[in-house]
Chains A and B, each alone.
Chain A
Amino acid sequence: MRQLAVPLFAIILFLLFWEMLVWVNGWPNYKMASPSDLWPAFWRFKWLFFTFGWETLWRTVLGLIIAIIIGVLLGMVMGFSKVVREGLYPLLVGFNAIPKATVVPIVALMFVGQHDLNTVLIAFMISFFPIAVSVSIGLSTLEPEYRDILRALGASKFTIFWKIALPKTLPEFFGALKVAVTLAFIGTNLMEIVSPHGRGLGALFDSGKTNSDYPLMFAVLIALAILGIALYYVVVFLERIFAGWAERQAD
């Protein structure tokens, strides 16, 4: 009960403060939206919200899944081979250091018109890095004794990976996945906003911007936050199932 009531109370408090701020300053709708404007804005475009929300969601999730596959594979080769790690690390760091907002127009031009591909690509590019790094660090920092207890019994490399290295890396992996989820949403929306004739919540936000429709823009932000929270908790749920052992009981 308390677990639900406290955050709920905090949210209500925040909304009241926001409402008051707009009301006290007398800001009109084209300057700043207030929470009471959000619901009408949402209701007016509710079908757009649902269809675009779905588009944003599936592109983000697809980008994320590709990021997990590529990230884990990259992390594995970097974790197991020192040479590959030394070779790939500077490249990856450099790639990650490029602000993705600058990559968006390049990708948009490269695959002009292929909006789905563009969006998924950016979602992937922005989110695979933390996954690759966490998996590689998890594998490369595996204490040699862990490997030795199985190696001394004649276990194959794959068995050692499956029974020890993989489960031992899961907590780091899920930690990185939580970061990656948020990043993937940023990626999707960057593309949806920039790309002409885009679809998805980002495009809805962009059309709100063109019309100075602050209530619509804020309603999109809230929708994005809700999607982000939902996906985050899906990851938390998976983490409980697969890496719940890493959570220490509070004493």
Chain B
Amino acid sequence: MTVRKNTGLIRIENVSHTFNTDTGVLPVLDDLTLSVPKNGFTAIVGPSGCGKSTVTRLVAGLLKPDKGTVWLQGQKVNKPRDTVGMAFQNPVLLEWRTILQNVMLPLEIVPNAMSSAEREARAQDLLKLVGLSGFEQKRPSELSGGMRQRASLCRALVHRPEVLILDEPFGALDAFTREDLWQTMHRLREEEPFTGVLITHDLRESIFLADEVVVLSGRPATVQYCQKLKQRGPKSLDQLYTPKAIETLNILREQIKIARKDEEDKL
């Protein structure tokens, strides 16, 4: 396990968590420690069901850890905070609202001094940034899966959150759309500074988007391996096929294999 000095905008310190299910207690996280620096972007990968989503829910303040502490900007997280934006695999757009109204939703919840014209302008800027100009008045059902996910990203960012939590946002998209959205993520990161946590099953996605990839062990999960990535900023897809990238992917793949083996051993 990698031990690092824990300074960061997001800090998870020695967190353990257990779920009570019908079949008994299920330990999900075991003494997990990791941190994300300001404006950093960390991808979390690991075997299916190892507790990755639990990590996002803890950071978002939707769950309280049984043991340990989650810190956000130096403050203990014990309830949801409006400095967080979230996007899930399911874009969960509200069907009775237009795309523009969907993106504006957080501005109706988070206290802010924006007029309705300013809110609209803000939402429109973001939609333009992700290439959805001209779709403002459409209903979610009229958009493709990739476009819906773009709108969902805009909604997550509209209130300028410090932290963006992405729980497998591209998991249900086809490969081409996914690669398009990776590029969009780079563009968003350039224009809208945020500190990001990305849960993913896709190792290529993790090294393409993040500054650091964290491999979680099998359940109950803890940090098994950390891989810092040199490159930052926009990347082209070609860079996924350089010898260096392939080497990194192989290391990560090997780590996932160990994590899965570890899970089998724990069962």
Contacts and interface: CB of A to CB of B under 8 A. Distances in A.
Contact of B60 (A152, A163, A168, A170): A152
A153 B110 contact: yes
B92 A143 contact: yes
A159 interface: yes
Interface in B127-185: 139, 141-142, 155, 159, 165
Contacts of B90: 143, 145
A151 interface: yes
A196 B85 CA distance: 65
B141 A248 contact: yes
Nearest to B87: A149
Interface stretch (B18-26, B76-84, B216-224, B258-266): B76-84
Interface string B55-68: 00100111000000
Contacts of A146: 92, 94
A152 B80 contact: yes
A246 interface: yes
Contacts, number: 63
B96 A149 contact: no
A153 B28 CA distance: 25
B105 A163 contact: yes
B88 A145 contact: yes
Secondary structure at the A interface, as helix, strand, loop or mixed, is helix
Interface residues of A, number: 22
Interface string A164-205: 100110100000000000000000000000000000000000
A164 B80 contact: no
A152 B86 contact: yes
Contact of A151 (B80, B88, B110): B80
Given A153-B109, A163-B108, A248-B141, A145 B92 contact: yes
A223 B96 CA distance: 37
Residue with the greatest number of chain A CB neighbours at <10 A, chosen from B57, B86, B96, B165:
B96
Contacts of B88: 145, 148-149
B234 interface: no
Given A152-B61, A152-B62, A167 B84 contact: no
Interface string A214-244: 0000000000000000000000000000010
Contacts of B92: 143, 145-146, 149
Contact of A246 (B79, B81, B95, B159): B95
Contacts of A170: 96
Contacts of A167: 94, 96
Interface of A: 143, 145-146, 148-155, 159, 163-164, 167-168, 170, 243, 245-246, 248-249
15 contacts: A145-B92, A146-B92, A148-B60, A148-B62, A149-B88, A152-B60, A154-B79, A154-B80, A159-B109, A163-B94, A163-B108, A164-B94, A167-B94, A168-B96, A170-B96
Interface of B: 57, 60-62, 79-82, 84-86, 88, 90, 92, 94-96, 105-106, 108-110, 139, 141-142, 155, 159, 165
